[in-house]
Amino acid sequence: MPVYVGQTARSAQERFEQHTRGERASRWVKVYGVHLRPRLAFPRTEMTRDEALVAERELGQRLRKKGFCVYGAH
């Protein structure tokens, strides 16, 4: 199952809607995005940009180990 992992200062729902409208969008989400998977995400907490990048990378690695095809997660 392919998933897209990213980071945002907005709510996940708001960012997903931006992607689907084509605003600062990942082409993967814009073309193939269906819905959010909040149970797969880290809990939303305040992070610095550097902390968010590390968390994004770790989430991508964790999901790959579970067998997901991960886009994003730099």
- Structure tokens belonging to residue 26: 């990942």
Residue 72: what pLDDT? 87
pLDDT digits (tens, 9 = 90+) for 8-24: 888 889 999 999 999 98
Q: Which phi-psi region, left, alpha or beta, contains residue 16 (left: φ > 0; alpha: ψ -120 to 50)? A: alpha
Rounded CA gap, 38 and 21, in Å?
Answer: 20
Encoded amino acid at 26, one letter:
S
Rounded CA gap, 16 and 19, in Å?
Answer: 5
Is 5's pLDDT higher than 90? Answer: yes
Is 74's pLDDT higher than 80? Answer: no
pLDDT digits (tens, 9 = 90+) for 45-67: 888 989 989 999 999 999 999 99
